[in-house]
């Protein structure tokens, strides 16, 4: 009999999200409309699992202004968005946690 894998609960961290929102946008430097943008892509090499669209982890976030956050979602391909700006969202999120 095969075992069903239990879904991991969403990793929440309201304090970290609040701090992210105080940082400037990592694309343009705007600090007036910053949002915590969750990284939904997987990178198993660095331990970023696929939490699924309904369960993003609050430790994998980047600071984006409202305009860039909307652009990211509008592109539909998250990694295409980051490649456009020649940035690695995983590196940004890791550095944000190391504060």
Sequence-ordered alpha helix ranges (H) in 2-99: 14-20, 66-75, 78-84, 89-97
Structural domain contains residue 8: no
For residue 10, the model assigns a pLDDT of 60
For residue range 51-84, what is the model confidence (pLDDT) as tens digits?
555 567 888 899 999 999 999 999 988 899 999 9
For residue 51, the model assigns a pLDDT of 55
Structural domain contains residue 45: yes
pTM: 0.79
- Burial letters 19-41, b for 16+ CB under 10 A, else e: bbeeeebbbeeeeeebbbbbbbe
Structural domain contains residue 37: yes
Structural domain contains residue 7: no
Structural domain contains residue 5: no
Residue 48 or 99, more confident: 99
Q: Which residues span the domain enclosing 48?
A: 14-97
Structural domain contains residue 2: no
Structural domain contains residue 73: yes
For residue 99, the model assigns a pLDDT of 75
Count up the domains in the chain and report the number.
1
């Amino acid at each position: 009999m095969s075992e069903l894998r239990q879904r991991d609960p969403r990793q929440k961290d309201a304090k970290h999200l609040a701090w992210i929102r105080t940082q400037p946008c990592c694309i343009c430097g705007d600090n007036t409309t910053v949002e915590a943008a969750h990284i939904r892509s997987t990178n198993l090499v660095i331990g970023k699992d696929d939490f699924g669209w309904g369960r993003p982890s609050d430790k994998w976030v980047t600071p984006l202004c409202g305009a860039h956050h909307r652009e990211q979602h509008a592109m539909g391909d998250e990694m295409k968005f980051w490649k456009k700006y020649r940035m690695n969202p995983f590196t940004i999120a890791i550095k944000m946690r190391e504060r």
